[in-house]
Structures are given as C-alpha cells and as structure tokens.
Structure 1
Amino acid sequence: MKLQTTYILALGLMTIGLTACKKDFLQRNPQTEITEGAFFQSPIDLETYSNGFYGQLGASYSDINSDNISNYNADGEVDIMLRGSISSSNIGGWDKKDWENLRKINFMLDHIGQVKGDPVLIKHFVGIARFFRANFYFEKIKKYHNVPWYGHVLSETDPDLYKGQDPRALVVDSVLSDLNYAVANIKDDSKTKAANTRVTKWAALALLSRFSLHEGTFRKYHDEIGLTGDYQRFLDAAVAASDKIMKEGGFTLVSTGNGALDYRSLFVSPSLATNKEMIMWADYNKELNVGNNTHTVLDYTWSLSRNLADTYLKKDGTPFTSTPGFNTKVYTEVFADRDPRMAETIINPGFRGASTIDEPYRIKPTLGGYNQIKFYPRDPALRLGWEMNYTGLPIFRYAEILLINAEAKAEKGNINQGDLDQTINLLRNRVQMPALTMSVALDPVLAAAYPNASGAVLLEIRRERRVETACEGFRFNDLNRWKCGNLFQDSQQGMYVPALGGLDVTGDGKPDIAILPSPDDESSIANIPAVERDKLSKYYLKDKTGKDQNFYLTNGTSGFIAFTRDRDQPRNFISPKYYYRPIPIGETVVNPQLKQVFGW
C-alpha cells in the first residue's frame, strides 16, 4: 500500500494540464498561474517544485500478490492473472495519468538552465529529480520489461512522441546514470530537522543498491530477455553501494537487547526520527492530519500463509520443517521456540491490543488463521480509524541494505563468513537467533522451493530476507527476479485443524472458536459445557443450504485450512509471460510502434 506523503507542494495548483487526447499527454505544459519562465529562478524554486515528487515513493505494509498471503478477499492482480482473467483489452495503466509523474520530473529538469544560484545546491535538486526519475523507471521496467525512455518533455512535433519501446539495456543504463548522478550530488542532510524523511545521498545509495540487485539477479535468471551475459556489473554495483552505506552512512540496527520489541519498534512507533536504522521513512502525524491505514493488516481482507509461517526457523536455528510432526502442530503449538520475528509478524495465541483489549484476540479461520500483526498499531491513541493511524513507516531501512549486500555477494559466488557476520548475523543477533555459518546444512524444503539457487548459504539468505522483510512489499518482486513464478500458483493454506469442533486459539486451554460442518450440525461441540459453548465464535464449512463456504479442510474433517476458490479455479503460472504485464490495447492502437512482449 502506498504512503500518503507528508510533504505538501506549495504550488498546489502546479498539476499537469492534460487533456483527454492521448497524443499530447507527454508534452503539454503544466497549467498554473505562475509561468515557467518566471518560476524556475532559484534553488528555492527547485526545492518547492521537487517537494511535489515525494508522493511517488511508497511505504508498503503488505505482501498482497505473493505467496506470503493465504487468502485475500479482494481482487489481487496476480491472483486474477493466474486465473486467466487479465488481457491487454481489460488491463489499465500506460495512459496519461500513468506517465504524469515522469513528465513533472522532466519539466523541472528541462528548466534547470535558467536557474541561478549556488551550483552545488542546484546540482542537489537536479539529483533529487533524477532520483525520482530513476525510481519511476525502475517500476516501469519491473512491470513491462521494455519501455520508451523519455529524458525531456515532448513537444507536439517531437519525433519521439510515437516511438516504440527502447531496449531494456538502454533504459537500465539510463537509470544507473540517474542514480549515480544522484549519489554524487545529493547532499547528506542527515542532520537537518527533517532528517531521513527527505531524499538524501544515503537514500540514493539505498535505491541504487535495491535497483542493482534486482537487475543483476533478474538478468542472471531470466534467459528470455537475452542479457544473462551482462549481470555481474549490477551485482558489483549492489555490493559497492551497500558497502558504502555500511561503512560510511552511520546507520545501525536497533538492538537494545529487547529482541522482538526492538524489531516491533520499527513498524509501530509514532516517530522514527531518532531511529538509527531508518535511511528514509514516512512521517504520519495527527497534527498535520496525515495518517495511514495500517490497522487494516489485521483481519481486514487478507491473512498470512502457512508457507510463510513454516519458513521461520526454530529458536535453535534449525528448520521448523525438519521437526517430526511439524505439519500436524496446531495453532497454539507452532509459535513455541521459534524465531521471535514470527510472533511479531503473525498473530500469536494470547495477543491483545486490538478492539478486544481486555480479552485475547480470536483468529478467524475464514482467512486462514495466520492474521498479520506486523505494522498493526498497538497503542489505541495511534489507531483512530480509516486513514487515521499515526505510525512512522520505513521506506529504506538499514536491514534491507545488509540483506542486499549478502545476497549480491552470494550470487557472485564470493561470500565468506566475515560477510555473513557483518550482514545476516547482525539481523539474527538482534533477535537472539543463532548465527548463519558457511557450513550450514542444505534445507531440502528451501532447495525444492528455489531449484535455481546454488548452495545452502544462498538459500538461507533468501530465507532471512523473507522473514526479516515479511509484509514490507518485497516478496512479489523477489519471486519475480529469482524466476520463481511457479510459487505464485501454489494454493496457499492456513493453520492446521485436527478435527471439527472447538479449538483453543488463545492459549488458555479452553475452546474459543469452533469449526463445524454446518449450522444444522453442531454435534462436535455437544460435549462442551453450555456456558463455554455459548461463548464460542462459530464457523461453518457449509451454509444452511448446503453450499460450500469460502474455506474447507484439506482432509475433509481435519487438515489445513484451504480455500474453495483455489480448489474450484486453480491458478496457472505461464512462464515467461506472467513475469510481465501487457500494454493496454488502446495504447497500442494510438501508438502502433508499441509492441507486446512474451506472449501478451
């Protein structure tokens, strides 16, 4: 989910004046009372104008469209696509609104020559604009593969107005050029009042690290784009950029010895201004009337998957899936002796702090049972309603940089124990988990999930990335760049249910909910005392008419919670087609030079 920026452009009316005619959506001037010639005169003008770019950055708090989600009661794009319901005739995007942000950025860059003042400050704001242009194109590359590169505002007679896509290699190198300029020219500004809520040199390095890792691994694993011979330099760039942050940025993990609470503080605190892990964060403030919607992570429309839950290691550092009987452990058992981050991500027995503060929270099997609590504001004063949650959200945090550094080195094949100790093991040490060693045993479950990954260490780095950044919006792109799209089609499941009847989900030894055949058959709870039976939250596999509800148990009257839609409409991932999205057919009619890719 996207953040709502706290930065309000002083020139609020400086929006892009676009008509409904698609031919000129990239070349029309902004409609404003202030003419461009009179406005772009000083670095202050550049700062005012560039403030309007910040709404383009996103702070995510969900993993919708990935295998971290068991059930989503809305229309996720990937889910719809895998059921065969997306085509170039019904997909959105690519229209004038989709390209508006790029035009705003290029409009400023086209007028830099008329600005007078401190050249260092001018270059700083040019770097800001090029940072946002790089981020814009990063998103486009991930979605469409090949896109046209526009480095300036187009006029009506510009020969590029109706050009087709430029090669991915050209666009990617242009993004790298923008990011390298941004890194070289954006000021640190980490000591200013708005520290780390603005784009700094370190945020530019963070984006360079993220982009380079993505492009390097995408090229390595996706032979269909024909660039497998040119991926090493991107991994080198990811290592160099993350190394620089690690050595010179002054950032560190929040680690006060409180383990799980240190981890939790990154996602539920009212402010992250003094948090040394935040390279950049989004400030939501009640006084400014700017809030987020993080309360919706709990029981709103999605739940987390059994697959994610099983990925968390045991407290002794061994895989949970290597434990005898792991796949028949009930909800109140699966959290015992696990990585503390699990209970800070997935709701656990006895959880309090939601609307039922005086009673433990009761999970809902209709979503799978593994409800998300990461990002859920614990303090009711920070959780006041729709778009009225006032917790700071990370955009770039130091933990991601450590993960990037480790993964890039592992993909290059030259990682060593010292590298692990300076990256992965700092993350594990924060939550008192055993260190990862170069001699770690191969986990067959991970090996089966990622058959194209070489070696146990790389597999464990992928595990660490998944659990450390769960629900932060990375998982979808990770599976894409690793070419593991088959995992999107797997029908994700929820918790294990040993039998129909009452279930203890709060850990007090008494049944709290009941899963029953139908409203007409409650025989499986007949032996529960009436006083307790009346308090049960009841869920049925079939309604009064005999129709299946949205979930079922994999063994009929026992097993994992699964979902009837997945059973009745199986997903199917088509490779390489589904790693990309089609251009809307209307746009290809307007511009026949645009070509669909990989079967679209």
Structure 2
Amino acid sequence: MKLKYMIYMSTALLTTGCNDAFLERAPQSLNDQTFWSTANDLKTYANGFYGLIPAGVSNLDDTNSDTQVPNSINTFLWGQYTVPTEGGAWSQSNWSTIRNLNYFMTHYQNAQGTEAEINTYVGEIRFFRALLYFDKIKTLGDVPWLDKDLNVDSEELYGPKTARNEVAKKIIEDLDFAIRWLPEAGSEEANRLNKDIARHVKARICLHEGTYYKYHTELKYTSEADGLLQQAVEASNALIISGKYEIYNTGHPESDYHNLFTMDDKSNLKEAILYIDYIEDKRMHNMSHGTLEANAGFSKDFVDCILYDDGLPKGVTTQPTTDNTIAEEMAGRDPRFSQLIKNDAYLTDEEKEKANYDDNYVDKFHLTGYHTIKGYIPDLPSGYYVEFTDGIAYRYAETLLINAEAKAELKTLTQDDLDNTINELRDRAGMPHLKIEVGFTDPNWPDYGYTLSPILQEIRRERRVELAGEGFRFDDLRRWKAGHLLDNVMTYVGKKLSNGKYAIVYPNYTNDDLSYQEGKSRKWDDKMYLYPIATGELQRNPQLLPQNPGW
C-alpha cells in the first residue's frame, strides 16, 4: 500500500504534516453547522493527520542509543538534561493534535452515510490517536487519557494521570476498532490506511508494552505481560499467514539488503506494509545526502555485535577477527555489514586518497569511521533534498522480528517459527539459519541484569542489525530495562586507528585510554526510562503529581 504524501486536504482544513503551524490552528474554525454532514467531510478532516505516519527514510535515527554515535553528546544520555519549566514532552503542541483528533470524535456522529462508510474514517482517526498516545506512554509513562475535545473550562484539563497500563488498553481498543472497520489491504482507497497497517502497529505496541511490563517489575504490571505478548503474536501472525507480504530477496545476498532501501519505485515491494511514494520535484527527501555530512556513525559496540558468515559471533568464531582496518573487520562477516557501513565499494577515488582508507578512514564528517550507507546512492546529483526514492513507513521485516521475539518471550517458539521469521531475514543475507538450540555461548552477550535464554539473545541481536539506523534501538533498550548498556565506552567510540587507539568522538569527555575526562562521565540513571513533566504543568495541576520517578 502506498502513501503519496502530497498536499491533498481541503483548504477549509490544514496542510499535512506534524508541525506547530498545523497544531496551533483550532478545528473550531470549521463551520460545524455545515461541515459534518457527509462521509466525505470526515475523510477530508482525517486527511490532516496522515503526516503523523513515518516518512520511511530513516538511516541515522539510532544516535540516541548504543548503535550510532552523534557528533555532539546527547545531553539526556549524558545526564545533562534538566527538568523544563514549560514544554518538553508535555508541550501544548504535543497535546493539541490529540485534541484535534478528539474534536472529530465528538462531531462525526451527524454525518450521513452507511455504518461502514462512517466508521472507516473513525478508524483512521482512532489509529492516529493510538500512534500519539503510544508515543506519550513511552516518553512519560502515566498520562491523562482524553477521548473528547476540551476547552479552557473543561474539568478534565486539571484531572489526574491515568495509569500507563490503562492507557495501553485504550490504545489497543482504538487499534482494534481500526482493524475492524478499515478496508482489507488491497481494497482501500489509494493513499489510505488499511487493516494490515493497524495490525502491524498493534503488534509493535503489544510487544513493546508486554516486554516493558515483564522487565520493569517495579510497575507491578507483570501479570499483564503475557496477554500483551499473545496479542502481538496474533496481530503479526495475521500478516504472516495472509501471504501478501514477503522479504525482498532476489538471491543476491551481497546487495539485496542495500537495494531494498535504494530502489526508486517501491510500489510493488511486498516487504512494504506501507510505502511512501516520493515524487521528483513534488516531494523529495535527503536520506542519502544526509549521511554525507552527518558527523555521525555506527559505534564500535554495534560493529562488534555483527555475526560472522559462519553464523557465529566474534567471541566464538574461528575466523580471523582482526580490526585494524574496516576491510579486515568486514572480511567474513554477515553481508549486511558491507551494506550498512561505508567501505571501498562506496568510496570515490578522492575519498580514498584523502582518507588513506585502508589504514584510517575517519574524518570530520564521519567521526566514528563507520559511516552509514543505508539508503546511500553514490551517483546522486549534488544538493540537498534532491532524492525521490520511495520510503518504507512499516516494514514486514519488523513484523517477523516482532513475531519471533513475542513467541520466544512466551516460550512457544518453534524451529518452524524461526524458519518463517528470523531465517527469512538470514536467507536474504545468505547467513546460516538460527536454530532453536543456539549451539554456542557468546562470552560477549550483553548482561541485561537478568537471565536471558540464548535464543532471545540472538533474536535481539538480529533485530539490532536488521533495523539498524531506523530508530528502534532506544525504545528497545528502554522496554528491556537495558539502559545500563549505554555505559559501555564502546557504545560511543569508533573504529581502531592506525596508532592502535580508537576513534574518540567526544575528546573533551573521553581520554585516549577510554577513561573519562575528570568530572565527566556517562552513567545511566533509571529515571531516564521516562522524561520528566514540566514543573509549570505540575504547579498548574497538582493532580499530575508525583513527578516521574527520580526527576
């Protein structure tokens, strides 16, 4: 299914996109006496929220994690974030979009049309509300659940927070409604949502909350974890058994993963549950060029986690594991390595000469030496926002990863399940299959602070590699209660240099021996699993107290 992302709203409403100009315009500017009369009015109103769907061109969205390293310190991860007086994650604009969605919910009932016609657009609105509320509970934990539009006199503006698990139930109710009433995939009107998109998002949310409740035992929601994980299984199973989706695989493991992201036209790509149709001179993006001067790159920790082509990790394989150059590191590795990280095949002669590539490819634009090439097209014309390769908002590979992880958490995973999920991804990469009995113990498996089965360790590794740069990793660390993994210095340094030391991205914070500069450190604090509420909001509404833990 595609989404053109063109401006196609009525001028009576607003242009697409999630921006402050959009959020500040009140829906009351509509003529409520005449507007809410037909199903087409509902459709027109719903158009305004399609900008909430991911743009589908992510390759540098894990710089807030242990996978990628930004050029400057992330103040939140380095303990320098202070509680805002106003705004932050609780800003007015963050709530305004929910208010505009709820405005629909309190005005649509007078529209004329069949139940199916009306509820198609109610399903769209409730899908978008689910997206926004999921972001809120990930960021803030307990938040007020609001399901109608409010005004300055509404008592609900000064009401208490709703427990996170109760908000999650409301989110799932919204998605279940969307799944019931949205069209089947393939029968929807062009550029609109369908049932499978809602199923995929439901599977994502249920996995997230199910694992969050399982590992964050302080919340006392552990008893709800399995039920959520089972819902993740059921929602992802529906996509798998439909036969509509498949992993892009032409039998060229050396290039298929990379080509998935660089192919121009994704309209027939079965791995795309929802693709985004970019169009030359109408809507363009910067996915490839954005990597050229991003001042960011993959971390040494991420590179070391990538398997060798015998299916074994660095700490177990009998293959050479030297890392003096990228070429040495890349030799004999999972082919996704060479399709994720810039190497000889993607360097111009000028770059090779400038960087003495084989010895020390690190410069001011690629501070870790591990420069992402996900979505990178070397022969694009110069300039910014000149690209129109289609994006992927929701990818079937994630569906398979959700399914495998949820079943492993429930201890129902079988070899057949692995072959239908993880091993579909391994097949594309030309990698050995993952076995239910893993067959090795990796001395470098992350220490999560709790016992984890070998199969879950490997499923988590597969997820990290397959989805690298797409913005999932920080959420994964939070739901697994694994923020302390960010304390590892190798999560913010880069490749080994010709002098035997590592590329240090933050020289004012880290010494050559990888120790901290005096008075500066990166130490995870469990309060960082959530962001704080602005103090001004707490003063205006004491019922929002207490502040999020630790803040």
TM-score by length of 1: 0.82
Residue number among 180, 187, 211 corresponding to 2:183 in the alignment: 187
User: Quick check: 1:7–1:54 contact (8 Å CA) kept in 2?
Assistant: no
- Read off the aligned partner of 1:223 and give its amino acid letter: T
> Deviation per CA, 1:179-230, whole angstroms, max 9, x where unpaired?
1111111112525674xx5321110000000000000000000012121121
Higher relative contact order (Cα pairs below 8 Å, separated by 6+ residues): 2
Aligned to 1:144: 140
- Partners of 2:536 and 2:246 in 1: CA distance: 49
Q: Provide, for residues 107-127 of structure 1, a one-character-per-residue CA deviation record: whole Å limited to 9, x for no partner.
A: 112112111113212111111
Q: Which residue of 1 aligns with 2:369?
A: 369
Question: C-alpha separation between the residues in 2 aligned to 1:591 and 1:294?
Answer: 45
Return the letter of the residue paired with 2:110.
Q
Q: Describe the SS at the equivalent of 1:494.
A: strand
1:30 correspondence with 2:30: no
* CA apart distance, 1:450: 3.0
Of the three residues 39, 43, 49, the one matched with 2:45 is 49
Superposed CA deviations along residues 296-326 of structure 1, whole A, max 9, x for unmatched, are 1244121111111111111111112334773
Please state whether the residue corresponding to 2:402 is helix, strand or coil: helix
> Would you say 1:99 and 2:95 are equivalent positions?
yes
Q: Output one character per residue of 1:435-475: Cα deviation in whole Å (capped at 9) or x when no partner.
A: 01112134334533334352111111001101111111111
- 8 Å CA contact 1:183, 1:205 repeated in 2: yes
CA distance in 2, matches of 1:108, 1:90: 28
Shift of 1:77: 5.0
Render the CA deviation track for 1:398-424: whole Å, top value 9, x for unaligned. 110100000000001111111111111
Task: Kindly indicate whether residue 423 of structure 2 is the aligned counterpart of residue 425 of structure 1.
Answer: yes
Determine the structure 2 residue equivalent to 1:526: none
Name the structure 2 match of 1:341. 336
Residue type of the partner of 2:146? Y
Q: Give the CA deviation at 1:350.
A: 3.8
Is the alpha carbon distance of 1:327 and 1:296 closer, same or farther for their aligned partners in structure 2, counting shifts above 3 Å?
Answer: same
User: In structure 2, how many angstroms separate the alpha carbons of the residues matched to 1:218 and 1:170?
Assistant: 14
For residues 483 and 231 of structure 1, do their structure 2 counterparts lie closer, same or farther at Cα, with a shift above 3 Å needed?
Answer: same
Between the aligned partners of 1:450 and 1:271, the Cα distance in structure 2 is: 41
Contact 2:322/2:329 (8 A) holds in 1: no
> What is the rounded CA distance, in whole Å, between the counterparts of 1:104 and 1:237 in structure 2?
29
- What's the counterpart of residue 507 of structure 1? none
User: Measured at CA, do residues 91 and 570 of structure 1 come closer, stay the same or move farther in structure 2, by a change above 3 Å?
Assistant: farther
Looking at structure 1, the residues matched to 45 and 131 of structure 2 have their Cα atoms a distance apart, in angstroms, of 18
Question: Which residue does 1:78 correspond to in 2?
Answer: 76
The alpha carbon displacement at 1:38 in A equals 1.2
Aligned ranges for residues 150-169 of structure 1 at < 5 Å? 150-169=146-165
1:580 equivalent in alignment to 2:534: no
Where in structure 2 are the equivalents of 1:265-344 lying within 5 Å? 265-323=259-317, 326=321, 328-344=323-339
CA gap of 1:296–1:443, structure 2 versus 1, over 3 A, is: farther
For residue 473 of structure 2, the aligned residue among 472, 475, 483 is: 475
Q: Name the amino acid aligned to 1:570.
A: S
Correspondence for 1:119 among 108, 112, 115: 115
> What is the CA distance between 1:267 and its match in structure 2?
1.5
In structure 2, relative to structure 1, the CA distance for the partners of 1:191 and 1:340 (3 Å cut) is: farther
In the alignment, what sits opposite 2:346? Answer: 351
What is aligned with 1:592? Answer: 542
Corresponding residue for residue 571 of structure 1: 522
C-alpha distance in structure 2 between counterparts of 1:453 and 1:567, whole Å: 34
SS in 1 for 2:157: coil
Q: Shift in Å at residue 347 of structure 1?
A: 1.1
Q: Distance in 2 between matches of 1:262 and 1:567?
A: 46
Q: Deviations over 1:157-188 (max 9, x none)?
A: 32212112111122111001001111111112
How far residue 587 of structure 1 moved from its aligned partner, in angstroms, is 1.5
1:51–1:565 CA distance, 2 compared to 1 (3 A): farther
Q: Take 1:48 and 1:74, find their aligned partners in 2: how far apart are those partners?
A: 42
Residues in 2 aligned to 1:75 and 1:89: alpha-carbon distance in whole angstroms: 22
Q: Does 1:263 pair with 2:261?
A: no
Q: Which residue of 2 aligns with 1:405?
A: 403
How far off its partner does 1:568 sit?
A: 6.1
The equivalent of 1:8 in structure 2 is 7
Tell me the distance in 2 between the aligned counterparts of 1:566 and 1:145.
34
**Structure 2 residue matching 1:578: 3-state secondary structure:** helix
- Following the alignment from structure 1 to structure 2, what is the Cα–Cα distance between the partners of residues 53 and 361? 48
> Which residues of structure 2 form unaligned runs of 5+?
16-22
1:281-302 deviations in Å (ceiling 9; x for gaps)? 2222223244344421244121
Residues 352 and 360 in structure 1, CA contact (< 8 A), matched pair in contact too: no
How far did residue 65 of structure 1 move?
0.3
- The DSSP-based 3-state class of the residue aligned with 1:387 is coil
Distance 1:446 1:234, change over 3 A: farther
How big is the shift at 1:140?
A: 0.2
Q: In the aligned structure 2, how far is the partner of 1:392 from the partner of 1:553?
A: 42
State the AA in 1 paired with 2:499: A
Q: Is residue 2:141 matched to residue 1:177?
A: no
On the 8 A contact 2:65/2:473 being kept in 1, the answer is: yes
SS in 1 for 2:340: coil
Taking the TM superposition and a 5 Å limit, the aligned residue runs for 1:513-592 are 554-555=512-513, 569-575=520-526, 577-592=527-542
Q: Distance in 2 between matches of 1:317 and 1:177?
A: 41
2 CA distance for matches of 1:198 and 1:446? 45
Alignment length (residue pairs) = 529
Cα 1:120–1:453 change in 2 (3 A) is farther
Q: Residue in 1 aligned with 2:19?
A: none
Task: Give the Cα–Cα distance (whole angstroms) in 1 for the partners of residues 341 and 86 of structure 2.
Answer: 35
Q: RMSD between aligned alpha carbons?
A: 3.0
Q: Percent identity?
A: 34
- Aligned equivalents of 2:484 and 2:443: distance in 1? 15
Q: Kindly tell me: are residues 549 and 422 of structure 1, through their superposed partners in 2, closer, same or farther at Cα, counting changes over 3 Å?
A: closer
Q: Is the 1:8–1:52 Cα contact (8 Å) retained in structure 2? A: no
CA distance in 2, matches of 1:75, 1:392: 31
Displacement after TM superposition at 1:490 (Å): 2.4
- Please state how far the C-alpha of 1:392 moved relative to its aligned partner: 1.8
Does the Cα contact within 8 Å between 2:308 and 2:317 map onto a contact in 1? no
Q: 1:404 to 1:361 in 2, by over 3 A?
A: farther
Counterpart-to-counterpart distance in 2, 1:390 and 1:357 = 28
* Aligned partners of 2:288 and 2:373 also within 8 Å: no
Question: Aligned partner of 1:591: which letter?
Answer: N
Higher mean C-alpha displacement, 214-223 vs 256-265: 256-265
Look up the equivalent residue of 1:479 and give its one-letter code. L
Can you list the C-alpha shifts for 1:27-71, whole angstroms capped at 9, x where unaligned?
x95253x412311222222222111111112233321100002x3
Question: 2 CA distance for matches of 1:7 and 1:85?
Answer: 37
Displacement of 1:15 in angstroms is 5.0
Distance 1:453 1:5 in 2: 45
Structure 2 letter corresponding to 1:440? V
Q: Say if 2:144 and 2:160, in contact at 8 Å, map to a contact too.
A: yes
Task: Tell me which structure has the larger Cα radius of gyration.
Answer: 1
After superposition, the Cα gap between the structure-2 partners of 1:9 and 1:226, relative to the gap in structure 1 and judged at 3 Å, is farther
Task: Name the SS for the 2:468 alignment partner.
Answer: coil
- CA distance in 2 between counterparts of 1:331 and 1:182 reads 47
Query: Deviation digits for residues 465-520 of structure 1, max 9, x if unmatched?
Result: 0111111111110011000010123222211124279xxxxxxxxxxxxx9xxxxx
Q: Deviations over 1:520-551 (max 9, x none)?
A: xxxxxxxxxxxxxxxxxxx9x9xxxxxx9569
Check conservation: 1:202, 1:249, Cα contact below 8 A.
Answer: no
